[in-house]
Amino acid sequence: MTRTLVVVGHGMVGHRLVEALRAEDTGHAWRVVVLAEEPRAAYDRVALTSYVDGWDAGALALPGADYAGDELVELRLGDPVVEIDREARNVVTAAGFTQHYDALVLATGSRPFVPPVPGHDLPGCFVYRTIEDLDAIRETVERVKSAKRGRAAAMVVGGGLLGLEAAKALRDMGLSPHVVEMAPRLMPLQVDEGGGSLLRRLVTELDLTVHTGTSATVIEEDRGRLCAKLTNGTELDLDLIVFSAGVRPRDELAREAGLEVGERGGILVDSSCRTSDSGVYAIGECAAVEGRCYGLVAPGYTMAEVVAAQLLGREAAFPGADLSTKLKLMGVDVASFGDAHAATEGALEVVLADAVSGYYKKLVVSAEEPRTLLGGVLVGDASAYTMLRPLVGSPLPADPAAMLAPEGAGAVGVEALPDEAQICSCNNVTKGAVTGAILSQGCDSVAAIKGCTRAGTTCGSCVPMLSKLLDACGVEQSRAVCEHFAFSRRELFEIVKATRITSFAELIAKHGTGSGCALCKPAVASILATLDTTMGEGGHVLNDEQAALQDTNDHFLANMQRNGTYSVVPRVPGGEITPAKLRVIAEVADEFGLYTKITGAQRIDLFGATVDQLPLIWKRLVDAGLESGHAYGKALRTVKSCVGSTWCRYGVQDSVGMAVELELRYRGLRSPHKLKAGVSGCARECAEARSKDFGVIATEKGWNLYVGGNGGTFPRHAELLVSDVDSESLVRYIDRFLMFYVRTADRLQRTAPWLEELEGGLDHLREVIVDDKLGICEELDAAMAKHVENYADEWRGVLEDPEKLARFTSFVNAPGTPDPTISFRVEREQKVPVLLGVPEVVSR
Using rule CB under 6 A, residue 602 touches ligand SF4: no
Residue placing its CB nearer to another protein in the complex, 313 or 839: 839
Q: Is 719 helix (H, G, I), strand (E, B) or coil?
A: strand
- Name the residue nearer to another protein (CB basis): 578 or 813: 813
Residue 838 in the binding site for another protein (CB under 8 A): yes
Among positions 142, 420, 483, 724, the unique one binding another protein when judged by CB under 8 A: 483
Confirm or reject binding of residue 682 to ligand SF4 (CB under 6 A).
yes
Shortest gap between Cβ of 461 and another protein (angstroms)?
33
482 appears as a binding residue in the annotation: no
3-state DSSP call for residue 726? coil
Residues 804 and 796: beta-carbon distance below 8 Å: no
On the question of a cis peptide bond just before residue 63, with omega within 30 degrees of 0, the verdict is no
Residue 108 near which of ligand SRM, ligand FAD, ligand FES, none (CB within 5-8 Å, type-dependent): ligand FAD
Q: Which of 26, 54, 820, 826 binds another protein (CB under 8 A)?
A: 820
Considering the complex, state which of residue 109 and residue 644 has its C-beta at the smaller distance from ligand SRM: 644
Scanning residues 498 to 537, which ones bind another protein (CB under 8 A)?
A: 505, 514-518, 520-522
DSSP 817: P
Within 594-645, residue ranges assigned H as helices are 613-623
Task: Give the residue with the Cβ less far from ligand FAD, 13 or 568.
Answer: 13
Q: How many residues sit close enough to ligand FES to count as binding (CB under 6 A)?
A: 12
Q: How far is the CB of 588 from another protein (least distance, A)?
A: 23
Whichever of 68 and 842 has its CB closer to another protein, that residue is 842
CB 31 within 8 A of CB 2: yes
CB 348 within 8 A of CB 363: no
Question: How many residues at the interface with another protein, by CB under 8 A?
Answer: 46
Footprint on residues 81-100 left by ligand FAD (CB under 6 A): 81
- Relative to beta strand 176-181, strand 287-289 is unpaired
> Which residue blocks in 679-750 are alpha helix, DSSP H?
727-744
Q: Check residue 476 for interaction with another protein (CB under 8 A).
A: no
Q: Which is nearer to ligand FAD, 168 or 361 (CB)?
A: 168
For another protein, the closer of residues 254 and 549 by Cβ is 549
Shortest distance, CB of residue 681 to ligand SF4, whole angstroms?
3
Establish if 336 lies at the interface with ligand FES (CB under 6 A). no
Q: Which is nearer to another protein, 549 or 622 (CB)?
A: 549
Which of residues 319 and 712 has its CB atom nearest to ligand FES in the complex?
Answer: 319
Give the DSSP letter of residue 807.
Answer: T
Question: How far is it, in rounded angstroms, from Cα 281 to Cα 283?
Answer: 7
789 Cβ contact list (under 8 Å, min separation 6): 536
Neighbours of 206 (CB within 10 A): 14
Interacting residues of 436 by C-beta distance below 8 A, sequence separation 6+? none
Give the range of 8-16, 52-60, 601-609, 722-730 binding ligand FAD by CB under 6 A: 8-16
Residues 404-463 that bind ligand FAD (CB under 6 A): 459
Q: Which is nearer to ligand FAD, 252 or 612 (CB)?
A: 252
Secondary structure (3-state) at 403: helix
Nearer to ligand FES, 459 or 731 (CB): 459
Yes or no: say if 186 and 199 are a contact pair by the CB < 8 Å rule. yes
How many Cβ atoms from other residues are within 10 Å of residue 122's Cβ? 12
Q: How far is the CA of 140 from the CAs of 52, 118, 133, 523, in angstroms?
A: 14, 21, 11, 48
For the chain, how big is the Rg over CA atoms in Å?
Answer: 31
Taking the CB of residue 795, how many other CB atoms lie within 10 A of it? 25
* Residue 217 backbone class (left: φ over 0; alpha: ψ -120 to 50; beta: rest): alpha
Q: Is 462 annotated as a binding residue?
A: no
Q: Is residue 227 annotated as involved in ligand binding?
A: no
Decide if 66 contacts 75 (C-beta within 8 A): yes
* Residue 455 binding partner per list ligand SF4, ligand FES, ligand SRM, none, with a CB distance cut-off of 5 to 8 Å that depends on partner kind: ligand FES
435-494 residues in contact with ligand FES (CB under 6 A) are 455-462
| Cβ pair 565, 610 in contact under 8 A | yes
Rule CB under 6 A: which of 366-385 touch ligand SF4?
A: none
3-state secondary structure 735-788: HHHHHHHHHHCCCCCCHHHHHHHCCCHHHHHHHHHCCCCCCCHHHHHHHHHHHH
Binding region for another protein (CB under 8 A) out of 465-473, 632-640, 690-698, 812-820: 812-820
Q: Which is nearer to another protein, 133 or 819 (CB)?
A: 819
Contact with ligand SF4 (CB under 6 A): which of 512, 570, 681, 708?
681
* Beta carbons of 600 and 799 less than 8 angstroms apart: no
Number of residues that bind ligand FAD (CB under 6 A): 36
- Per-residue string for binding with ligand FES, 386-425, x by CB under 6 A? --------------------------------------xx
Contact status, residue 624 vs residue 824, Cβ threshold 8 Å: no
For residue 467, the minimal CB distance to ligand FES (Å) is 12
| Partner whose footprint covers residue 49, from ligand FAD, ligand SRM, another protein, none (CB < 5 to 8 Å by kind) | ligand FAD
User: Contacting ligand SF4 (CB under 6 A), which of 113, 487, 650, 824?
Assistant: 650
With binding defined as CB under 8 A, does residue 843 bind another protein? Answer: yes
Which of 534, 559, 680, 704 contacts ligand SF4 by CB under 6 A? 680
3-state secondary structure 551-584: CHHHHCCCEECCCCCEEECECCHHHCCCHHHHHH
DSSP 247-292: EEE--HHHHHTT--B-TTSSEEE-TT-B-SSTTEEE-GGGEEETTE
842 binds, among ligand FAD, ligand SF4, another protein, none (CB under 5 to 8 A by kind): another protein
Contact between 380 and ligand FAD per CB under 6 A: no
From the CB of residue 307, how many other CB atoms can be counted at a distance below 10 Å? 30
Classify the phi-psi angles of 736: left when phi > 0, otherwise alpha if psi is within -120 to 50, otherwise beta: alpha
Residues in touch with ligand SF4 (CB under 6 A)? 642-644, 648, 650-651, 655, 680-682, 684-686
Annotated binding-site members for siroheme = 686
Residues in touch with another protein (CB under 8 A)? 483-484, 505, 514-518, 520-522, 545, 547-553, 555-556, 560, 562-564, 806, 810-814, 817, 819-822, 835-844
Residues in touch with ligand FES (CB under 6 A)? 424-427, 455-462
Residues in touch with ligand FAD (CB under 6 A)? 8-14, 35-38, 45-46, 48-49, 80-81, 107-110, 128-129, 162, 165, 250, 253, 284-285, 295-298, 300, 327, 459
Annotated binding-site members for [4Fe-4S] cluster = 642, 648, 682, 686
Annotated binding-site members = 642, 648, 682, 686
